[in-house]
Structures are given as structure tokens and as C-alpha cells.
A and B are shown apart, each in its own frame.
Chain A
Amino acid sequence: MFTDAANFDVRDYLRKEMMPHFLCPGCGHGIALRALLWALHDLAIDKDKLAVVSGIGCAGRLSAYIDANTFHTTHGRPLAYATGLALARPDLHVVVISGDGDCLAIGGNHLIHACRRNLKITCLMLNNEIYGMTGGQVSPTTSESRLTTTTPLGNNEPNFDACALATAAGAGFVGREVTRHVPKLKELIKAGLEHPGFAFVEVLSDCTEVFGRKNDLGSSPEMIMRQKSEIRPSAYRNTVETPFHSTSLPTGILTQNDRPEYGAAHRRAAAAVVAKGAK
């Protein structure tokens, strides 16, 4: 049974007609999806009022499995779609699911401006270091020296620290967690969902079938265990005021402040415009 202590049954939040899902065996994205649904359950968020907006790629496909108002948009743009949706419908709870390529490469501009703007959206970026769906090309988060189909001799580009980027761009809530710690991941997503402004949650997820095989990282359990030990030695430098060592990845809530939420500020500004016009 999938039932947890807190009466969470993942089947209550999944579209059964979409099963079996299309994720590869061992893919970390299923764990991330489950953690998200669990967090939604814990917060008793009404599925009718939940809008999940996703981009393109493996992570982008997850929205279709969620029993809510789901929007599978264009590559890199889910945050921009979500901005329109959240401004037009402040009554909805808007969650974005994106991948590392979607969010940091083709959609990087939208990420930094969403962080700056601070509209109430919870953005989950599932980072598996690779463009999995297109067959395993290098992404902005691929660690140095890793093999991909477009870095046959090893990646020689530096990679992004997404959380440092989000913090620098002004996000009020930034956190990172690995798929190995499901309850911790759930708690982090929950904190992100409860944050009054823009929340950026990076989930370190494993791509076993493409990234793992290409780099001889072993089976799924072995990759999960790597998250505990020597995960991505060069991927995360000193990030967000937390000294980084290869064995102590900065996870958990990395940034949290109460900058004014954009939607409410926008509505106040609009009211001022109306009041000025009425004079």
C-alpha cells in the first residue's frame, strides 16, 4: 500500500487513466512527484483550486499525472504562463514543474525575472543534469567532465548553481533537497508552498537510464546512495553562504525572507491607478 501515517494515499492525487506512467525505471522524478503530492495533501490544498504548469522535457510531462488543473506548456516558458495565470486568477494555487534545461537554459530569463518579481508561484526544478527526453545532451547543470551525447570527451563547461542564481535574482524562498530524503523533500516543498511569494525548490533527481548509464554510475539504488556520499563533486561550489564540501551538499531551506509579494502589490498599485483616475 502507498498509505502513509498521515492518511496520504498518492492515488487520490493521480490520474489513474494516465497509468502506467512513462518514466524510466529508477528515474528520480517519480519520487519528486510523490513528495509534491504528499506536501499538497499535508496542506489540504483543494485540487480544484490547484493549477500545475509545466514545461517540456521529462519533468514537463509530470503535470499530466496530477489530478488538478494542469497545463503542459512550451519549452522553457512554464513560469511565464504561470505568471499570467496567477495574476489573472489570484484564487488559484499555482505550482510550476520544470527541469534543469527548461528552467535554466531556454527558460533562464523567465526564472530570474520570476525570482525578481516575487509573484506567488511555487517552482519545482527537477535537476537530473541532463536532457533526458532528447537522448542525453549536456545541460546547464551537468557536472564538469561528465559524459553526454554532446560532450563525448567530458563536459568542459562550468555549470550553474541554480539555488545561488535564484537567491541572487531575489527569490524570497530557495531550497534544495535530494530524492533520497523523501520526508525532508516533502517538508521542503511544503515550506515552499506555504511561502507567500515566489518559491524556488531544486530537487536533485537521478536520471539512471541516460545519465547514469553514460557515466557508469550503476543501478538506481547505487545512484541513490551516491546522493549520500560523493554526489557531483564539482557541481556545487560554495553556495548561498553555506560552505560546500563534496560530502556536505547544502540542502534544506537556503534563503527565506518576506519580500512583498508581487500579486498583492500589483493589485494595490492598480487600485491606486483607479483612485487617481476617479479624482
Chain B
Amino acid sequence: MNVHDKSLSKSTAKLLSGNSACAQGAVAAGCKFFAGYPITPSSEIAEKLVTSLPQAGGVFIQMEDEISAMAAVIGASMGGVKAMTATSGPGFSLKQENIGYAAGAEIPCVIVNVMRGGPSTGMPTRPSQADIMQTRFGSHGDYPMIVLAPSSVREIYEETIRAFDLAEICRTPVIVLYDQVIAQSSETVALAPPSGVRAERKWASGPRADYKPYAAGIDGIPAMPRPGDGYRTHTTGLTHGENGFPTQNPEAVERAMSRLYSKLDLHRELIESWEAIRCEDADVVIVAIGISARAAKRAVEICRAKGVHVGLFRPITLWPFPEAALQQACKGARAVLVPELNIGQLRLEVERLLGRHRVEGLHQYSGEPITPAQIAARATTLASEA
């Protein structure tokens, strides 16, 4: 869906930080378990949930490290509750093995990664967008992944809620990815109560004898056994057959892996989200996420005011990338500009999808965000050259 500009109700607007909005979104989504470990610049999420989660009937725990926080979240979700963790840079790296476990064993959960400068300890209080590839490919082996990349305080709230819904519907970990600027800046927002009913997990039902924990119908999503309901199944990180037990039978492995991979394709329409601004007549389309997309939004205005035809394509679902929507948005463009706070990650995906277009990156990794003026200048040059 294209979520082009929703309007705000001013009367209920409140000043809120991105991390606070994330915590509020988790509670609104029905999160009942949070495990975390202190790390800048995402700790405020935990500091909010320590109070608001118990008030909503949930459990908060600060674990001994990043790895155990991820593990505890998966353990809680195995127990049947909606669960989330939040982290940044180094912590996200430490969680990767268990994120892969959640993907492979198909345990729904939400992981928030507030990007900061890297590699290693990097710049804890400075923004970066250098985890774009790690969110998709950070754990070992082949696995599907949903990554949502909000770019405003309001959108962090909305996408956190959507992350829980998608995690439950698709039985998969979902990552909410945003940068330090959006996380720790505050904006006046009117948070809309979530529309519709929140997604609930598909639980195993019916006779135990017929039940196979990893057998799926046409939607590709197996019903999950809830401990205590009498199914007494086995969950493992080893490659497993439909019965849940480890297997290395080539046909069974291939069947299991194919279903795991294709299940997101079956729900692509639900998963994909993007915003396309003034792309119809654009000579240059900017593709950006997070704070860089906010700068690009202003850059579009700056360029348009000078008669330069520039548009913005903003993937809100970063992975799986909204491929067809990008190709559609860039149909008439003569050049594509990818501003990002890294040495070139989003640009790689855009280049892959737009083989024939001229794709240029505007990469900044100084710890300072890219400004609207920088993007407008480059887009203007590109428009004149193209």
C-alpha cells in the first residue's frame, strides 16, 4: 500500500520521541513481554516499557546481556505471548544467531534496532544507516526477514504495531529499523488508536494425532502449538521436517526451506509498504529511508520550487523490498539518487532493481545527517545532466 501523507489532528498532538512512540506502539499492539539490555540510543524504549508493560499486564525484564535478551524474547513467544526486544549496533550484532533461530523455527517476535555509527562501538550517539544489509542478512544461512523502516515519530508508532501484526500473521521475526535522529528527536504527533483488530497467532487446534507443527496450508503459515494445549511438540534450530523433528533428508530439507522462503511472497501485498511523492513526472527520483528520507522530502520541495522535477520513493517496508513499486515509481525517471548514512547499502538494492537506470549514491558516514541542501544540489545536477 502507498501511505502517502496522512493528516494530523492538531488538537490531541503531543511532543513525543521516537523511542517513546515505539514503546507506546508495542503496548498498543498487545506486546506482553519485553527483554532488553541497556544500549545507546535505544535504552529509552526499555525505560518506558518497564512501567507501561506491567500496566498492560505484561512482563518486563532487563537481562544479563544482549544475547539472553533475544533468547528470552523467543522463549516468551514460544510460551504464547507477543514479545519484543530493542537494541542498537553492537547489541544487534550479538542477537543475530538467535534471530536466525526465530526465523528458522518460525517464532514470532519483534526486534527494534536503532542504528548508530559503526563498525564496532563506533559512534553511540550519532546517526547511521549502516545496518540496512545486516537486518536482512545478519544471521547465518538462508532465511526470510521482514524489516520495517519508519521515518517519523508517528510512523515508528504505526510500524511497531504493524511489526507485531506481521510477526503473528507470518510466524516470523520482524525488525523495526530506524536511526538515532528519529529515535531521540521528538515531534508533536497525534497517535491514532490502531484501526481494526490486532492480528493474533494461528494456534494449533484439533486432534493431536493428526497435528504436524510445521505443516502449512495454502497460506504457507503453520499453526503454532501452545504449550499446555496438549500437543507436546518439539521445536529445534536444526533443520526439521513437518513433524518438527530434525531431519537431513534432502527432499524434506528442500521442502521445508522452500516453504520458509516462499511464505513471505504469499503475503507480500500485506507486508509491502512505501510512500511515493511526486514521482509521476520526476526526472530524478530520490530513494531514501529514515532521516535521509526526511531530508529528501524537503529537498523535493526545494527542487520543485526551482522548477526541477524531483520525486521521492521511500520504502517503509525495507525487506522484502517493494520491488514493483520502485520500478513503477522510477519508470519515467532519467536518474535515481540514493542518499544514505553509509558507504553504500540501499544503493546496491536499488541498482539491482533498476538495471537500466543511472543510479547514484550520496553517501555520508561522518556521523552527521545528510542535509536537504546537499540532496537538492545533487538532484539538481543529476537532472541537468540526465
Q: Do chains A and B touch in the complex (CB under 8 A)?
A: yes
Check B230–A48 contact: CB distance below 8 A: yes
Are A74 and B232 in contact, with the CB atoms below 8 A?
no
A18 to B247, CA, bound (A): 11
Binds A, one of B68-76, B171-179, B340-348: B68-76
Query: Are A113 and B64 interface neighbours, CB within 8 A?
Result: yes
Is B33 within 8 A of A84, CB to CB? yes
B5 to chain A, nearest CB (A): 35
Chain A residues engaging chain B, CB cutoff 8 angstroms: 15, 17-18, 47-49, 51, 53, 63-64, 67-74, 77, 79-89, 91-92, 109-110, 112-113, 266, 269-271, 273-274, 277
In the complex, are the beta carbons of A277 and B234 less than 8 A apart? no
Which among A49, A80, A109, A269 has the highest number of chain B CB atoms within 10 Å?
A80
> Do A85 and B75 touch across chains, with their CB atoms under 8 A apart?
yes
Give the docked Cα–Cα distance between A69 and B233 (Å). Answer: 5
Interchain CA distance A14-B101 in the complex, whole Å: 25
Query: In the complex the two chains form, is A51's CB within 8 Å of B227's CB?
Result: yes
Bound-state Cα–Cα, A81 to B225, Å = 17
A34 to B225 Cα, complex, angstroms: 26
A101 to nearest B CB, angstroms?
Answer: 16
- The total of interchain contacts (Cβ-Cβ below 8 angstroms) comes to 145
Tell me if B's interface is mostly helix, strand, loop or mixed: mixed
A88 and B33 contact, CB distance less than 8 A: yes
Contacts of B75 in A (CB 8 A): 53, 71, 73, 80-86, 88
Residue from B60, B61, B78 whose CB has the most chain A CB atoms within 10 Å: B78
Task: List the B side residues contacting A87 at CB < 8 Å.
Answer: 33, 59, 61, 72, 76
A265 to chain B, nearest CB (A): 12
Known: A88-B59, A109-B64, A113-B64. A73 touches B76 (CB 8 A): no
A68:B232 contact, CB within 8 angstroms: yes
Q: Enumerate 10 A-B pairs (CB-CB under 8 Å) in ascending A order.
A: A17-B243, A48-B227, A68-B232, A77-B71, A84-B78, A87-B72, A88-B81, A88-B83, A109-B65, A112-B64
What 1/0 mask marks residues of chain B from 39 to 78 whose CB sits below 8 Å from any chain A CB?
Answer: 0000000000011001100011101110111011111111
Q: Once the chains bind, are B238 and A72 in contact (CB under 8 Å)?
A: yes
Known: A87-B59, A89-B228. A273 touches B54 (CB 8 A): yes
> For residues 66 through 112 of chain B, which have their beta carbon under 8 Å from a beta carbon of chain A?
67-69, 71-81, 83, 97-98, 101
| Assembly CA distance A68 to B227 (angstroms) | 9
A278 → chain B closest CB, angstroms: 8
Point out which of B35, B50, B75, B76 has the most chain A C-beta atoms below 10 A from its C-beta. Answer: B75
- How far does the Cβ of A47 sit from chain B's closest Cβ, in whole Å? 6
Contact of B61 among A49, A72, A83, A89 (CB under 8 A): A83
Per the bound structure, the CA–CA distance linking A70 and B54 in Å amounts to 28
With A72-B234, A80-B75, A88-B79 known as contacts, the answer to whether A273 contacts B51 (CB < 8 A) is yes
Partner of A64, one of B68, B73, B236: B236
Task: List residues of chain B with CB under 8 Å of any chain A CB.
Answer: 32-33, 35, 50-51, 54-55, 59-61, 63-65, 67-69, 71-81, 83, 97-98, 101, 225, 227-238, 243, 245-246
A134 to chain B, nearest CB (A): 15
CB pair A70 B234 closer than 8 Å: yes
Q: Please give, as numbers and ranges, the residues of chain B lying within 8 Å of A84 by CB-CB distance.
A: 33, 35, 61, 71-79, 83
Distance in Å: Cβ of B93 to nearest Cβ of chain A: 15
* Closest Cβ–Cβ distance, residue A74 to chain B (whole Å): 5
- A74 and B71 form a contact (CB under 8 A): yes
Which B residues are in CB contact (< 8 Å) with A81? 71-72, 74-75, 78
Give every chain A residue within 8 A of B83 (Cβ-Cβ).
84, 88
Instruction: Name the one of B80, B81, B101 contacting A74, with C-beta atoms under 8 angstroms.
Output: B101
Nearest B residue to A278 via CB reads B55
Shortest Cβ distance from B236 into A: residue: A72
Q: Which residue of B lies closest to A64 (CB)?
A: B234
Known: A74-B237, A81-B72, A86-B75. 10 other contacts (CB 8 A): A18-B245, A47-B232, A70-B232, A73-B71, A74-B98, A77-B68, A83-B35, A112-B64, A273-B50, A273-B51
Q: Would you call A85 and B64 a contact (CB within 8 A)?
A: no
- Expressed in whole angstroms, the minimum distance between the Cβ of B99 and any Cβ of chain A is 10
Q: Which residue of B lies closest to A65 (CB)?
A: B234
Smallest Cβ distance from A110 to chain B, in angstroms? 5
Given A81-B72, A85-B75, does the pair A69, B237 have CB atoms closer than 8 Å? no
- Closest B residue to A91 by beta carbon equals B228
- A83 vs B51: C-alpha distance when bound (angstroms): 20
Q: Is the CB of A277 within 8 A of B55?
A: yes
**Complex-state Cα separation, A15 to B233, whole angstroms:** 10
A18 and B77 CA atoms in complex are apart in Å by 26
* Set of chain A residues within 8 Å of B81, measured between Cβ atoms: 88-89
Q: A64-B245, A266-B61 in contact; A277/B227 too (CB < 8 A)?
A: no
Rounded to whole Å, the gap between the CB of A226 and the closest CB of chain B is 33
CB distance from A198 to the nearest CB of B (A): 14
B residues less than 8 Å from A271 (CB atoms)? 54
Q: Please give, as numbers and ranges, the residues of chain A lying within 8 Å of B246 by CB-CB distance.
A: 64
Verify A274–B54 contact, CB threshold 8 A: yes
CA distance A88 to B31 in the complex (A): 11
Select which of A64, A86, A273 is within 8 A of B55 by beta carbon.
Answer: A273
